[in-house]
Structure 1
Amino acid sequence: MRPTNGAERPGVLAFDWNGTLVDDAGRAHRATNRVLREHGLAPLTEPEFRTAFTLPMRRFFIGLGVAERRSDAAEKRWNEEMAAETAPLSTGASEILRAAAALGVRVVVVSAAASHSVLRDARRLGVDHLLADVVGSAGDKASALSRLASGAPGPVIYVGDSEYDMAAALASGAYPVGFGRGYRPAAALAEAGAEVVVWNLAALTVFLTWTRPPGR
């Protein structure tokens, strides 16, 4: 895709939250290790965390050795640990959110995290007023994105930091953009189908006017 000036604006600019709009891979790594210790499991190094991370969270913890019957409790504890810290916005997040607002492009967060957790972070960071909606606890992100697309006046862009995010975007017909500073490596996002991987979210301002290529 090649964005062009004066072209159609996206109907929705959608983002994952953790690891995408907020720079919290460190927070997530620490929360994961606290949960693992509570389950008698060895902690991970940060590279090990990035390699192992996957969604949904139950599958992530089961893959790390948490008993399946205790995986829901592990996810709940992880969310509690995440809530105990405030993470900063990711590089360029403030710029892209304000640029979208200035142009009237609707910004929606589609996240596996609970809506109240996302909004708590957003209020702490002073950007809650820049979010048109938060779709939280999105176990099926593809369906959530499809619903957004059905009511949008233009195409949907979805920005995320995991293969799961890229797969959801592709399945829903949204344009998949990877964020390379999140939980998963940039190469993994590209392999999962990201049309482009950015390291600074402000780079997405060029997507606020765009043309879909033939066939998309």
Structure 2
Amino acid sequence: MRHIVWDWNGTLFDDIEAVVGATNAVFEPYGVGAYDADGFRAVYTRPIWTAYERMLGRPLADGEWELMDQGFHDHYHRLMLECGLTADALSTLREWERAGGSQSLLSMWWHERLVAKVAEYGIDRHFTRVDGLLHSVPGGHKAESMVAHIKALGVDPADVLVIGDSVDDAHAAQHVGARAVLYTGGMTSRRDLQALGVPVVDTLADAVDHA
């Protein structure tokens, strides 16, 4: 592997507590009990509106998803201020760079916010490209964004390792012909990650070992 495509939320950025807290705030008016991280992982899936329907036990009404998603992001952007980089994120980025590899960042979080946050942590110099969500509907699948990202990079997908925390990251990698390693620190349960048949790791350093 010569190039790593990193995921942001739940991978390089350790935001599981903000995600769970924001989700609980959105569902409080519905009388849905508060989740902890493991309880949230047990119901989480993508697209996210499917997870919301699972949590409510019914289909979402017209316009309900948009309101819930806006509410989630309002709470998330407040709670994320208490979050930081994953413990070994910086050392792992530096180590891969020293090894001569290239790396980029692809997230389904809003592009403008992503670029600003990455710069705030001073890690933007490690990436040849940073791409977030521009025009697509939030909460959707990552595969088409991965196609555009790989094309813009001009790299051979066979030389790419995708490191993320969700089933969607693995599917996006497979969609373009890249390999994937999945990290357990994010929103998806270990059981669901292992069901895909790709390597599953507990640290980002272990993920890079697969490159």
Instruction: Give the aligned partner of residue 142 of structure 2.
Output: 141
Instruction: Give the aligned partner of residue 130 of structure 1.
Output: 126
Contact 2:88–2:203, Cα closer than 8 Å, also in 1: yes
Contact 2:141–2:168, Cα closer than 8 Å, also in 1: no
The reply to whether residue 185 of structure 1 matches residue 181 of structure 2 is: no
2:160 to 156, 163, 171: 156
Question: Structure 1 pair 204/43, CA: closer, same or farther in 2 (3 Å)?
Answer: closer
Contact 2:181–2:210, Cα closer than 8 Å, also in 1: no
Residue 51 of structure 1, CA deviation = 0.7
Deviations 1:24-67 (A, max 9, x none): 11111001011112455433233221111122233332332254
Aligned length: 198
Instruction: Give the aligned partner of residue 74 of structure 1.
Output: 68
Residue 170 of structure 1, CA deviation = 1.6
Q: CA RMSD in A?
A: 2.3
Contact 1:19–1:161, Cα closer than 8 Å, also in 2: yes
Residue 94 of structure 1, CA deviation = 0.8
2:106 to 110, 114, 117: 110
Instruction: Give the aligned partner of residue 165 of structure 1.
Output: 169
SS of the equivalent of 2:63 reads: helix
Residue 89 of structure 1, CA deviation = 1.3
Superposition TM-score, scaled by structure 1 size:
0.80
SS of the equivalent of 1:112 reads: strand
SS of the equivalent of 1:111 reads: strand
Greater strand share, structure number: 2
Deviations 1:150-186 (A, max 9, x none): 4205611111111122122122211010101221122
Instruction: Give the aligned partner of residue 6 of structure 1.
Output: none
Instruction: Give the aligned partner of residue 214 of structure 1.
Output: none
What is the distance in 2 between the residues matched to 1:115 and 1:30?
Answer: 22
Give the AA of the match of 1:46: A
SS of the equivalent of 2:14 reads: coil
SS of the equivalent of 1:17 reads: coil
Question: Structure 1 pair 157/68, CA: closer, same or farther in 2 (3 Å)?
Answer: farther
Instruction: List runs of 5+ in structure 1 lacking aligned partners.
Output: 1-8, 209-216
Contact 2:182–2:207, Cα closer than 8 Å, also in 1: no
The reply to whether residue 21 of structure 1 matches residue 25 of structure 2 is: no
The reply to whether residue 203 of structure 1 matches residue 206 of structure 2 is: yes
What is the distance in 2 between the residues matched to 1:101 and 1:94?
Answer: 11
What percent of counterpart residues are identical? 25
